[in-house]
Amino acid sequence: MEFLNIIYMTIEGWVVIGVILWTLIMLITTHYSVDMILLAGLSFLLITGVVSPDAALSGFSNEGMLTVAALYVVAAALRETGAIQYITQIIMGDIKTVRRAQARIMAPVMIMSAFMNNTPIVASFIPALEHWSRKTGIPVSKILIPLSYAAILGGTCTLIGTSTNLILNGLLIDEASVRSLGLFEPALVGIPAAIAGFIYLFLFGDKLLPSRGEAYQSFKDPREYTMEMIVEKGSNLSGKTVQDAGLRQLPGCYLVEIIRNEEVIPAVGPNQKLNAGDRLIFAGIVDSIVDLQNIQGLVPATDQVFKLDAPKNDRILIEAVVSTSNPIKGRTIKEGNFRDRYNAVVIAVSRSGERLKEKIGDITLKTGDTLLMETHASFVRRYRNSNDFYLISPIEGATPTNYKRSGAAIITLTGMIILAGTGLLSMLQASFLAAGAMILLRAIRYSASLEAIDFRVLIAIASSLGIGGALSSTGVAAYLASEVLLFASDSPVLALLITYLITWILTEMITNNAAAVLVFPIALSIAQNMGIDFVPFAIVIIMGASASFSTPLGYQTNLMIYGPGGYKYTDYLKIGLPLNFIVAIITLSLVPLLWEF
């Protein structure tokens, strides 16, 4: 009977190995999404009875995975309140050289990524840097790989810096024989690696990165809007020149004139100083006009925006075309009581390329006018089939930034870090408390918080945890560990080296989270068989799983910048492979010195 059990377990083990190999091949050779492939592999193990339902679904209740979900909400709130955009504006300033630009973005992103999940950070910075690139003429391809690499390196410095660290710690918590890691314990290796990575990218980034990306074609969109903005009282723009305020080289948009105390200042020069109360007339395409909404210190000239019956973070920007049957066609926007009639405010008007000189409220509406409006999200549903408008189209990702809540969002983030760092709350508790506080403080709408969570990433994490668990339960991990032990000749340092190499190679081929989960049970078996502490192996797995620099596949932030940066696969190999070796040498040199075996 015992012999039959051994055979049965061996068959189960081979099934697990087969599923993992199939998963690797599918991830490398196909374009199917990571979550779909991993979930399919886990489903096969569940259906065939290789893993029990409890074991298969255990990943969906893992502390690390749930913490990642909560951190998506925290990061989204920081983005919606303009905290990240404001930081970008301060960071980049008026830089003219590639090297300075790379240094300016890498340093703060490394620090931010140490305390926030790096995926939402990169997602927030990509559009901001694309916009900045168009303004300065510095190719975005010179900036986005340093952005991703800085986020990856910063994420290795704390337990909450990346989802991989959180997931690995969740596995440590589940393993009663091993202690969990401290919040700043990974920093002992992560900070030296981040400093070395910064120096390498600063010295060689400009030479090794490509120069790609088409110049922005101003006014390629025929819908040219005219929009009026006011320099707010107490604004940091007051007293600055047009150039210093960043209003000189706006992509697809330019400052036509300034109205000051009924006096018109035409042909505005770069050294023209701005005063509080100045009315600035802009002309440009829709994307650029939307960008004006998010410049702190500028507010729409129409005071009707402040009378809308909806909180700012419940509003959206939409375009609508006036129809022949619109009841206020032929009347001005003010005369037609547009805000009261539609609970919407017109902030810009486009009319067949014609530049409209009247104030927004004084524009007489005509058939075919395209209106850019700020309104409640329900406007689209209520007026989609109305005869008042020919077409209603929401502006994607153009929710007005709620700067008034940025202070609350930053304080909440700081509180989360303090509570988790001092041990008063676990990382899971602190992240859930922070996410709930962001919603209660109205830094983010509940509906928007749900949209901010990348459920596909969570499914991929949970599925990989289930497959990784199958490695242990079927005995495959123990078998592979024994084979590694034979090769390592009872040398802990050599075992660490092999663990690092396996984790790194798997990370570059599949994903960082999946690689860490698959290697964890094997490394745990190695440490237990050698009778040594597992924590050094955990640190090596963290660093190996994060050292995804030479391909776009292994780390989600590398994939996110692949398209916007116009990169090729070889670009990552060229600049990333040397960085891989730098991080490997630092990790394998420091871990044996800092942790006792």
CB contact at 8 A, 460 and 2? no
215: pLDDT confidence band, cut at 50, 70 and 90?
Answer: very low
Of 299-308, 424-433, 586-595, minimum mean pLDDT range: 299-308
The pLDDT of residue 565 is above 90: no
Rounded Cα gap, residues 62 and 166, in angstroms? 10
Instruction: Please tell me whether residue 350 adopts helix, strand or coil conformation.
Output: strand
| pLDDT for 592 | 92
CA distance 484 to 564: 41
Q: What is the mean pLDDT of residues 207-224?
A: 59
pLDDT of residue 84: 66
Nearest to 474 by CA among 48, 18, 8: 8
Helix, strand, or coil (residue 390)? strand
Mean of the per-residue pLDDT values of the chain: 80
Q: Which of 240-244, 399-403, 489-493, 590-594 has the highest mean pLDDT?
A: 590-594
pLDDT tens sequence across 332-343: 988 888 888 888
Instruction: With cut-offs at 50, 70 and 90, classify the pLDDT of residue 223.
Output: low
Q: Give the model's confidence band at 216: pLDDT under 50 very low, under 70 low, under 90 confident, else very high.
A: very low
Arithmetic mean of pLDDT, 379-390: 78
CB 329 within 8 A of CB 363: no
Say how far apart CA 549 and CA 50 lie, in whole Å.
35
Residue with more model confidence, 580 or 269: 580
Q: CB under 8 Å to 263, separation ≥6 — which residues?
A: none
Question: Rounded to an integer, what is the distance from CA 222 to the centroid of its chain?
Answer: 31
pTM given for the model? 0.60
The pLDDT tens digits of the residues spanning 63-119 come to 777 877 887 888 788 777 877 666 666 776 667 788 988 998 899 889 888 887 776
Query: What is the distance between the alpha carbons of residues 114 and 141, in angstroms, rounded to a whole number?
Result: 24
Indicate whether 47 pLDDT > 60.
yes
Cross-strand partners of 466: none
Most confident of 177-191, 202-216, 510-524: 177-191
Enumerate the domain spans of the chain.
67-213+404-454, 225-402
The Cβ-side half-sphere exposure at 167, using a 13 Å CA radius, reads 35
pLDDT of 43: 93
User: Collapsing DSSP states into helix, strand and coil, what is residue 394?
Assistant: strand
Report helix, strand or coil for 12: helix
pLDDT over 60 (residue 3): no
CA-to-CA distance for 569 and 577, rounded, in angstroms? 12
Share of residues in the chain with pLDDT > 90 (%): 15
Q: Which residue has the higher pLDDT, 198 or 398?
A: 198
Alpha-carbon distance values, 397 to 316, 357, 394, 448, 451 (Å):
9, 29, 9, 11, 12
Render pLDDT for 256-291 as a digit per residue (tens, 0 to 9). 888 888 788 877 888 888 988 888 888 777 767 667
Given a contact cutoff of 8 angstroms between Cβ atoms, the answer to whether 237 and 298 are in contact is yes
Instruction: pLDDT band for 123, please (50, 70, 90 cuts).
Output: low
Q: Which residue bears the tokens 């670009």?
A: 571
Say what the pLDDT of residue 62 is. 76
Burial of residue 214, with CB atoms counted within 10 A of its CB: 0-12 exposed, 13-18 middle, 19 or more buried? exposed
Q: What are the start-end ranges of the H helices in 547-595?
A: 556-562, 569-594
| Residue 214: DSSP 8-state | P
pLDDT digits (tens, 9 = 90+) for 344-383: 888 888 886 676 777 778 889 888 888 888 888 778 778 8
Q: With residue 47 as reference, give the H or E element that holds it.
A: helix 34-47
Question: What pLDDT band is residue 542 in, cutting at 50, 70 and 90?
Answer: very high
215 vs 417: which has the higher pLDDT: 417
Its CATH architecture, for the domain 225-402, is 2-Layer Sandwich (3.30)
Within 10 angstroms of residue 534's Cβ, the number of other Cβ atoms is 22
Find out whether 232 and 276 touch, Cβ atoms under 8 Å.
yes
**β partners of residue 296:** none
Does pLDDT of 491 surpass 60?
yes
| pLDDT for 550 beyond 80 | yes
Non-local (6+) Cβ contacts of 588 within 8 A are 493, 496, 497, 500, 540
R_g (Cα) of the chain, nearest Å: 27
> Cα separation of 531 and 580, whole Å?
30
User: Residue 383 and residue 322: Cα distance in Å, rounded?
Assistant: 12
Chain position carrying tokens 């409890």: 54
